[in-house]
Structure 1
Amino acid sequence: MKLSRLLPREKKSLPGVVGVARVERRSGDLLRRVGAGDIAIIEQADLDRRTAEALVEAEVVGVVNAAPSISGRFPNLGPEVLLAAGITLIDEVDREALRQVRDGTRIRLHDGAIFVGDRQVGRGTEQDANSVADHMIEAKAGMAAQLEAFSANTIEFLRKERMLLLDGIGVPDLEIQMEHRHVLVLAPGYGHADDLKRLRRYIREYRPVLIGVEGGADTLLKAGYRPDVIVGDPGCIGTETLKCGAEVVIPAHVDGHAPGLERIQDLGIGAVTFPAAGNPEDLALLLAEAHRADLVATVGFQATLNEFLDRGRSGSNPSTFLTRLRLGGRVVDGTALATLQRSQTPTGALMLLVFAVLAVAFVALTVSGLGVSYLGVLTDVGNSVFAYLKGLFA
């Protein structure tokens, strides 16, 4: 009797997104350990753009939020960022259900449901482009109330921090000289790495003081620049960056507590604290202002009203508003600066210059009777001019 060979059945792939659950109520703590292929489980109403960008950069495949990602108070930008990156977003999942999901568990998301193995442990609302667009329309109606609350908060903040904002009292001393120099402040905002690339020519010509704000300091180092000053929580900054030789400024709470100070001490790095209620971006601007910088170029900062109201991105909004007023016309957006740099030298004039150089070389070599050997020389001249133009537009 001939026995037939039994073949194993092919395992059917289940629909949805599969990944390792990373559970953390505070998104800031989660961002330090989430990685590629993970599913972030958070509880954050009005998911801000900065948190969403960090999740995209970490290459998560899904986000499960126990809170509404858009509550309707104002049009926050985080959900749009996640969906644009193709990341699944499920909102308002029951907190009790999420407690069944342990950190490190492999889970699956499908059609608003959360599965552990074949067992459904929770369900929420899976957002898509249409649902987020509808929520954003509703949220814009709440902007007037947010602006009124912002005005009241601004007055209160000015009352508490008037000595810092008006007189610069409390700004720490630094060894780097900023007086009569340009300062470039790089924050880890949307598109900051690309904007930095566009400013290569500006950095080469003006050699500004480079201030990196938290993740912006890491970006400077990766781009080949050593930051002169680092501002922010050391827990959000890479070890190599902290050890690069930059002066480190740690924001401190009103009570004097400075998050990340222990890490600095463990690394044996010197640092100064900056006691203030503002966010790291604003403190970096105040440092440049207090040390008499002629111009401050900002990269990765808020650019629109929606971003300005997005509380997670701007931190203390009254601080941002009043800091910009303090610096006045000395602040310029890095994107605009890059545009002006590109438009300074007309391309047509440069091409005429190239042809003029080649023509002069051709005439000179013809008169000298060198014959066809002038082609090699012309090639060298052309290569030199091309290299110059490449460096000019880099």
Structure 2
Amino acid sequence: MSKSSRRKASADAESTLNGTARVDHSIVALTRRLRRGDIAVIDVLDLDERTASQLAECRPSAVINAQQSISGRYPNGGPSVLAEASIPLIDAAGADVMNIRDGSRIRIDGDSVLRGDALVATGTLLTAEALESALTDAAQNMHVQLTAFTANAMDYVERDSALLLDGRGLPAIDVDLEGRHVLVLTGGTLYAKQLKEIRTYLRERKPIIIAVGEAADVAMEHAYAAKIIVGNVESVSERAMRAASTVVVHDPAGADAGMTRADALGVSRTTSDAGISSSDLAVLLAHAQGASVIVTVGMEARLIDFLQGSSELNAGTFLTRLQAGGTLVDARTLAQVYRHRYSRWLVFGLLLAGFTALGVALAATPGGRAWISSTWDAVSAWLGLS
């Protein structure tokens, strides 16, 4: 075989991928069973960084998206996350791709998706050049999304100003947060790394942890028990639920499965029907209860974050952050600036040990003993003791 033929065969092999299809409209449900080498099949318009990072952590061999990963509304960063992780993305494969049976073997050949020899769908393989071009075009539309975001924020203020400004409608909790450090944990396993980066802070300050939904289990995995759990608790482990002092069952959709489960376990619980995200509700609770510092793990912090996902919910997140103001600190920032805190007793002990070591060293040498003797004589004379 000639060199050109071998190169062509190699290129064909690299463009063909085989794997087990994992299909789900819910990214959370999908990542629970997505394993290295699987092919993830999703249905997400404008793939955001958080979703893409959750997928990338599972190390699939490829991702197939039924919808456009970059629609052009704004330069969302999800496809870039997959590209940096060297995970091919087949874009805009069409709704039929979601009919692939979960667990079946499929093959990606270029931009075609096949099951056996049957063509299931055809999309677009997002190359580096295509991705760069799409992001450049999308950046031109940022002002449109920003205008829509501002309008949603104003609608939110008009509808929920009492909740945002006065805390009216917040559930009552029996945990004292006045003057305490509080950590609001969201985002599931994606933010386990951030917990490790601030472990010195967690050990020394011992903040009260408010976990949003399944984040309570992430905290337990790192030996931290959430004092308060907020959100849909239907799939939160029994261990994490029983470790919490209070569970705030919050599901804007009105589902009562979480409430039924909390009652069945006999845990202390309250409810909230606030039309904001559970993470925003957790921050407002901490702020209203007088927390001195609120550390967030996994919450949005940049403008592009607020333009991704549900514009109405993100408008609430933006205004919640403004309301919490100077008490709010992002975990990524905290990891950069927090330094180990030394207690006064530790400093005193170190000084005492140092002076003791110096005294022993001086007493062990003839010159040192002579210096100690002359110094003692001089001090005694000055004090009138000799």
TM range (shorter): 0.7 to 0.9
Say yes or no: does 1:149 pair with 2:148: yes
- The question of whether the paired residues in 2 share the 8 Å contact of 1:24 and 1:30 is answered with yes
Distance 1:68 1:293, change over 3 A: same
Query: Is 124-133 or 287-296 further displaced after alignment?
Result: 124-133
For 2:52 and 2:149, locate their aligned partners in 1 and report how far apart those are by CA, in whole Å.
Answer: 23
Aligned to 2:284: 286
Aligned to 1:207: 206
Deviation at 1:354, TM superposition (A): 8.3
- The question of whether the paired residues in 1 share the 8 Å contact of 2:156 and 2:312 is answered with no
Structure of higher CA gyration radius: 2
- Give runs of aligned pairs for residues 246-325 of structure 1, distance below 5 A: 246-253=245-252, 256-258=254-256, 260-311=258-309, 316-325=313-322
Distance 1:152 1:216, change over 3 A: same
Following TM superposition, where does structure 1 have runs of at least 4 consecutive aligned residues deviating by more than 6 angstroms? 353-356
Tell me the secondary structure at the aligned position of residue 364 of structure 1. helix
Deviation at 1:153, TM superposition (A): 0.7
- The question of whether the paired residues in 2 share the 8 Å contact of 1:218 and 1:241 is answered with yes
Deviation at 1:286, TM superposition (A): 0.6
Counterpart residue type for residue 272 of structure 2: F
For 2:60 and 2:120, locate their aligned partners in 1 and report how far apart those are by CA, in whole Å.
Answer: 20
Aligned to 1:62: 62
Counterpart residue type for residue 120 of structure 1: L
Aligned to 2:357: 361
Deviation at 1:133, TM superposition (A): 2.2
Distance 1:161 1:31, change over 3 A: farther
Aligned to 1:341: 338
For 2:199 and 2:164, locate their aligned partners in 1 and report how far apart those are by CA, in whole Å.
Answer: 32
- The question of whether the paired residues in 1 share the 8 Å contact of 2:232 and 2:251 is answered with no
Query: Is 276-285 or 102-111 further displaced after alignment?
Result: 102-111
Tell me the secondary structure at the aligned position of residue 306 of structure 1. helix
Deviation at 1:85, TM superposition (A): 2.4
For 1:46 and 1:66, locate their aligned partners in 2 and report how far apart those are by CA, in whole Å.
Answer: 11
State the Cα deviation string for residues 214-243 of structure 1 (Å, max 9, x = none).
Answer: 343222211111111112222453443233
Aligned to 2:44: 44
Distance 1:227 1:151, change over 3 A: same
For 2:234 and 2:20, locate their aligned partners in 1 and report how far apart those are by CA, in whole Å.
Answer: 23
For 1:153 and 1:259, locate their aligned partners in 2 and report how far apart those are by CA, in whole Å.
Answer: 30
Give the TM-score of the pair, scaled to structure 1.
0.78
For 1:327 and 1:105, locate their aligned partners in 2 and report how far apart those are by CA, in whole Å.
Answer: 48
Tell me the number of residue pairs that the alignment of Structure 1 and Structure 2 aligns. Answer: 349
For 1:59 and 1:239, locate their aligned partners in 2 and report how far apart those are by CA, in whole Å.
Answer: 29
Say yes or no: does 1:328 pair with 2:325: yes
Unaligned ranges ≥5, structure 2? 1-12, 366-386
Tell me the secondary structure at the aligned position of residue 243 of structure 2. coil
State the Cα deviation string for residues 161-188 of structure 1 (Å, max 9, x = none).
Answer: 1221122111111121101111111222
Counterpart residue type for residue 367 of structure 1: A
For 1:19 and 1:26, locate their aligned partners in 2 and report how far apart those are by CA, in whole Å.
Answer: 20
Tell me the secondary structure at the aligned position of residue 338 of structure 2. helix
For 2:82 and 2:294, locate their aligned partners in 1 and report how far apart those are by CA, in whole Å.
Answer: 31
Deviation at 1:193, TM superposition (A): 2.2
Say yes or no: does 1:82 pair with 2:82: yes
Aligned to 2:230: 231
Query: Is 197-206 or 156-165 further displaced after alignment?
Result: 197-206
For 2:322 and 2:268, locate their aligned partners in 1 and report how far apart those are by CA, in whole Å.
Answer: 31
- The question of whether the paired residues in 1 share the 8 Å contact of 2:43 and 2:98 is answered with no
- The question of whether the paired residues in 1 share the 8 Å contact of 2:188 and 2:218 is answered with no
CA RMSD, 1 decimal: 3.1
For 1:20 and 1:315, locate their aligned partners in 2 and report how far apart those are by CA, in whole Å.
Answer: 36
- The question of whether the paired residues in 2 share the 8 Å contact of 1:50 and 1:190 is answered with no
Say yes or no: does 1:30 pair with 2:26: no
Distance 1:22 1:192, change over 3 A: closer
Aligned to 2:159: 160
Deviation at 1:363, TM superposition (A): 6.1
